[in-house]
């Protein structure tokens, strides 16, 4: 069947008028068993802490640094990475503190200042170890081909500005700092494997979510992981973004003014949207997993970052992403 722009426009209107509600009504509502959820969360966090040291040993074992003569660092690379991850994990409630009791034995005998901890966020050796740890976690889980969901979020740089509230007010304008008039957020884009709930790639930018997306794509290329399908929100609903994913099946909801103008890949995506809207929506809305996972991360680690330098902000968000992966590493 041949489709024209009018067919695309009509289908978009159908989605808004009744198909979206029909799809939502057909879905089963799953009620969360909070008692089971809390038990599972406890097991995941304690398991992540117990496995942190051997994973860091493996991630740092291949890093060799030549130093000139001078004062020997107060901490080994292993201690630096452990201390950084524990600093990110230190939370605000008795519950989280109970989860962490197994961790403190890892740093016995360490006596350093708060400035030393802050400098860990811009330590090049630590940055290499974090990268190695990310790749190691993906290999341990056997991640090589993924059905993915990509989404962006923002971490507030001040206590007065909340990203979710700004997005609700400003819509897509909140995704770009140039429309803000000031630097209010650090933008992060994360690519989630829907089968394992691991972040396979992520990027950070002080300017826009688009730049964070570009960094995540660069990181994805370096991992060598193949994407069989990906789901993105309307911010990425245009031919140039769809084409960027090559042979990967892309699910996006077209904007109101969308046309069929663009590459064959874009036309094929819009054809699937027009011809089989309900199966298409079913695949597209799997991206809700991204929103749920990032929401859980923010509830656990907080919705803002304390660091002020861009490189340290990047490290802080990367550590949050790796804790997320550690929590999901040994789950079924």
**DSSP string covering 266-278:** HHHHHHHHHH-HH
For residue 20 the two structure tokens come to 């979206």
pLDDT (tens digit, 9 = 90+) per residue, 95-126?
Answer: 555 566 566 666 666 777 778 888 999 999 99
What pLDDT does residue 304 have?
87
d(CA 271, CA 55): 46
162: left (phi over 0), alpha (psi -120 to 50) or beta: beta
pLDDT (tens digit, 9 = 90+) per residue, 280-327?
Answer: 999 999 999 999 999 999 988 988 888 889 999 999 999 999 999 999
Instruction: Note the residue count of the chain.
Output: 332
Q: Contact 206/177 with Cβ under 8 angstroms?
A: yes
CB atoms within 10 A of CB 208: 18
Q: Over the chain, what is the mean pLDDT? A: 86
137: left (phi over 0), alpha (psi -120 to 50) or beta: alpha
Q: Contact 290/164 with Cβ under 8 angstroms?
A: no
d(CA 188, CA 211): 9
For residue 197 the two structure tokens come to 């709930």
With a cut of 70, say whether residue 5 has pLDDT above it.
yes
Instruction: Read off the pLDDT of each residue in 168-188 and give the average, rounded to a whole number.
Output: 69
With a cut of 50, say whether residue 92 has pLDDT above it.
no
pLDDT (tens digit, 9 = 90+) per residue, 132-144?
Answer: 999 999 999 999 9
State percent of the chain over pLDDT 90. Answer: 55
Tell me how far the alpha carbon of residue 77 is from its chain's centroid. Answer: 26
């Amino acid at each position: 069947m041949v489709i024209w722009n009018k067919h695309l426009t009509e289908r978009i209107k159908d989605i808004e008028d009744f198909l979206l509600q029909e799809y939502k009504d057909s879905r089963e509502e799953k009620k969360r068993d909070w008692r089971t959820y809390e038990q599972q969360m406890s097991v995941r966090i304690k398991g992540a802490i117990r496995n942190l040291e051997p994973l860091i040993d493996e991630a740092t074992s291949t890093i060799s640094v030549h130093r000139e003569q001078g004062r020997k660092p107060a901490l080994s690379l292993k201690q630096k990475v452990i201390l950084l991850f524990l600093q990110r994990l230190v939370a605000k409630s008795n519950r989280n503190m109970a989860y962490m009791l197994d961790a403190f034995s890892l740093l016995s005998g360490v006596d350093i200042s708060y400035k030393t901890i802050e400098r860990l966020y811009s330590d090049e050796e630590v940055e290499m170890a974090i990268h190695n740890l990310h790749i190691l976690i993906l290999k341990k889980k056997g991640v090589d081909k993924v059905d993915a969901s990509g989404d962006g979020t923002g971490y507030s740089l001040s206590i007065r500005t909340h990203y979710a509230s700004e997005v609700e007010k400003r819509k897509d304008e909140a995704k770009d700092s140039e429309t803000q008039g000031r630097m209010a957020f650090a933008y992060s884009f994360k690519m989630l494997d829907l089968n394992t709930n691991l972040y396979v790639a992520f990027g950070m930018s002080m300017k826009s979510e688009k730049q964070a997306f570009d960094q995540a794509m660069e990181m994805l290329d370096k991992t060598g992981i193949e994407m069989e399908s990906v789901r993105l929100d309307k911010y990425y609903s245009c031919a140039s973004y769809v084409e960027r994913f090559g042979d990967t099946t892309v699910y996006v909801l077209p904007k109101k003014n969308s046309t069929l103008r663009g590459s064959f890949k874009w036309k094929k995506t819009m054809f699937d949207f027009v011809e089989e809207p309900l199966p298409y929506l079913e695949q597209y809305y799997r991206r809700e997993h991204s929103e749920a996972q990032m929401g859980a991360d923010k509830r656990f680690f907080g919705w803002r970052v304390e660091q002020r330098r861009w490189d340290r902000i990047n490290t802080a968000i990367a550590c949050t992403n790796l804790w997320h992966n550690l929590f999901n590493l040994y789950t079924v």
